[in-house]
Amino acid sequence: MVLKIAIQKSGRLNEDSMKLLKECGIDIANGVNKLKAEANNFPLEVYFLRDDDIPQYVEDGVADIGFVGENVVYEKNKKVQVVEQLGFGKCRLSIAVARNEEYNDVNFLHGKRIATSYPVIVKKFMQERGVEAEIHEISGSVEIAPGIGLAHAICDLVSSGSTLFMNGLKEVETILRSQAVLIKSIGFTEEKQRLLDKLLFRIKAVKKAKNNKYVLLNAPDDKLDEIIRLLPGMKSPSVLPLAQSGWSSVHSVLNENDFWDIIEKLKEAGAQGILVVPIEKMIV
């Protein structure tokens, strides 16, 4: 029994997907231009497919699971289940108009023509807001549509916004914030689910590690209680006496989001010799 996974055959999602599997300790022998590969040390078979095709392959059961952008999942609207957000491939699906347009709210788009590669998502967004707009589906180079008179606005994926700027556009509405997700087919056997649970266990350990840092510091014993209160840790900080009397070594784990605020407070509380170490895996 093997778990069949579909991932993008080229591009950024391919690189990040393969990196995640490697960080999960899964060794995949992937030859050049191969559309199928097997893991050497985990019951996993990898199919390399077009991103847009992955939800269909998973719905049909050709692949059991897939790594794919949320934007593709919602646009294709197939019978699949989103199991886990993967934390990479982050972008947003946004509406943009010409920079010289005076845009106040979504009603600006009433009666306008919108060019997009995501007609299903855009149509739903407009219907929910009671706005009647003409959705013009095009497959590429969406950002040039207003400049050539094809549309009054566009809806496309945005990362930095530089492409919009270079084409004289401004971002005015965010429809969807997207990232890579793990999807699975609806008809999953218990045996397949056990394999998926093993893979998810590894993925969550890798994700948890990326969001946390291991911190070691020296603390004067008379400030120990105050410093410990600042350190949440997984349960509580580890405290070890140092050779120098009156000092202890404190070990803990900090979340990336709170890291700098807590480090500053630790310094103010008297902590010294603070070391920060990346965590490869984190099992809780």
**Topology alike, domains 91-178 and 212-278:** no
- State how far Cα 112 lies from the chain centre: 32
Please name which of 27, 39, 15, 23 lies closest in space to residue 88, comparing C-alpha atoms.
15
- CB–CB of 172/96 below 8 Å? yes
- Going from N- to C-terminal start, the domains of the chain cover 3-88+179-209, 91-178, 212-278
Please name which of 266, 284, 256, 260 lies closest in space to residue 216, comparing C-alpha atoms.
266
- CB–CB of 96/154 below 8 Å? yes
Please name which of 116, 250, 255 lies closest in space to residue 176, comparing C-alpha atoms.
116
> What is d(CA 37, CA 29) in angstroms, rounded to the nearest whole number?
6
CATH number of 212-278: 3.30.70.120
From first to last of its 284 residues, the chain has per-residue pLDDT tens of 899 999 999 888 999 999 999 999 999 976 566 789 999 999 999 999 999 999 999 999 999 999 999 999 999 999 999 999 999 999 999 999 999 999 999 999 999 999 999 999 999 999 999 999 999 999 878 999 998 889 999 999 998 888 899 899 999 999 999 999 999 998 889 999 999 999 999 999 999 888 888 999 999 999 999 998 888 756 678 899 999 999 999 999 888 888 888 889 999 999 999 998 888 888 87
* pLDDT at res. 192: 94
Please name which of 217, 201, 174, 176 lies closest in space to residue 83, comparing C-alpha atoms.
201
Residue type, 262: I
Residue 202: φ, ψ to 5°: -70, -45
Q: Which CATH superfamily is domain 3-88+179-209 in?
A: Periplasmic binding protein-like II (3.40.190.10)
Extended beta strands in the chain, E state? 3-8, 36-38, 44-49, 65-69, 80-85, 91-98, 113-116, 134-137, 153-158, 169-178, 180-185, 212-220, 238-241, 247-255, 272-278
- CB–CB of 213/253 below 8 Å? yes
Q: Which CATH superfamily is domain 91-178 in?
A: Periplasmic binding protein-like II (3.40.190.10)
As a residue count, the chain comes to: 284
> What is d(CA 246, CA 248) in angstroms, rounded to the nearest whole number?
7
Per DSSP bridges, beta strands 91-98 and 169-178 are: antiparallel
DSSP assignments along 169-186, one per residue: EEEEEEEEEE-EEEEEES
